[in-house]
Amino acid sequence: MSLQGKTAIVTGSTSGIGQGIARALAEQGANVMLNGTSDPAKVEPFRKELADKYGVKVGYAQADVSDAAQVQAMVQRAATELGGVDILVNNAGIQHVAPIVEFPLDKWAQVLGTNLSSVFYGMQAALPHMLGKGWGRIVNIASAHGLVASVEKVAYVAAKHGVVGATKVAALETAGKGVTVNAICPGWVLTPLVQKQIDAIAKRENISNEEATKRLLREKQPSQQFVSIEEVAALTIYLCSDAAKQITGSAQSIDGGWTAQ
């Protein structure tokens, strides 16, 4: 599954799932443009580690992916500095939890901008590069919440359903042109985003973090185990490989049985 000589952009890749995907891509020989909103100095140790360990070019674009102009600039930087744009992983995401009647309007706009609009901006900017060379891979990190819903997550669920829909449209528009577009729909992965939800449950119910974790998994994920970052990264690598060249427009569940219920 070597991706030697390819160039990938991974949004939201300074922590969590995105960081794991960036590492896996570099391990397969791809040059990588990291992305986040952190100060470049904080990201430099990770950037340098990937470049040194895997012998690939690694850049960092400090860009707000909810801003179309910043996404365009990031894609252009990858093309200029790293040699092209072959792979785009739209991973950046945020969460806010509240009932619909109490959901702040600014949080609605923020979640939709970061989780959904960013996917459109990224695909719009990257696709001309891919179509121009007749090869490309787009992997949009959606969620189990792109397929089913949960209470108090109206913006997140709406955005992730939108990501799955946008993935299908892009796949149809690029079918037969050497470009595939797929979504990955993870269940609970123990990322900082999910840890915040565990902490909130523990505080609200006055229980230990261990019990809150069990409750979170028991409610949704029949396997009673977290999906690992490495598992999501491995599926991403597979979707980027030639073995998956006829997989396009799909929403790949990796959720311990969550959406089978």
Q: Say if residue 162's pLDDT is above 70.
A: yes
229 with 236: CB under 8 angstroms? no
Predicted confidence (pLDDT) at residue 95 exceeds the cutoff of 80 = yes
Identify the band that residue 192 occupies on the pLDDT scale cut at 50, 70 and 90: confident
Confidence check: pLDDT of 199 > 70: yes
Sheet holding 251-254, edge to edge: 58-62, 31-36, 7-10, 87-90, 136-141, 179-186, 251-254
More reliable by pLDDT, 2 or 75: 75
157 close to 103: Cβ distance less than 8 angstroms: no
Contact 256, 225 (CB under 8 A): yes
pLDDT in tens, 131-140: 999 999 999 9
Q: How far apart are CA 17 and CA 130, in angstroms?
A: 24
Q: What is the model's pLDDT at position 2?
A: 86
**Among 22-31, 76-85, 188-197, where is mean pLDDT lowest?**
188-197
> Residue 1: what pLDDT?
62
Q: Which entry of 54, 121, 156, 238 is annotated as an active-site residue?
A: 156
Looking at the DSSP assignment, which residues form a beta bridge with residue 59? Answer: 33
Distance (Å, whole) CA 251 – CA 243: 17
**58-62/87-90 β-pairing:** unpaired
Q: For residue 229, give both structure tokens.
A: 């970052």
Residues 6+ apart with CB under 8 A from 115: 92, 93, 94, 155, 156, 159, 160, 163
Band (197; pLDDT cuts 50, 70, 90):
confident
Write down the residue that tokens 């565990």 correspond to.
198
Res 80: pLDDT: 98
Would residue 156 show up in a list of annotated catalytic residues for this protein? yes
Structure-derived torsion over alpha carbons of residues 55, 61, 64, 66, reported in degrees to the nearest 10: -60
**HSE (side-chain half, CA atoms, 13 Å) at 153:** 17
Stretch 168-177: mean pLDDT: 98
Query: Is a pLDDT exceeding 90 seen at residue 193?
Result: no
Q: At residue 12, does pLDDT exceed 90?
A: yes
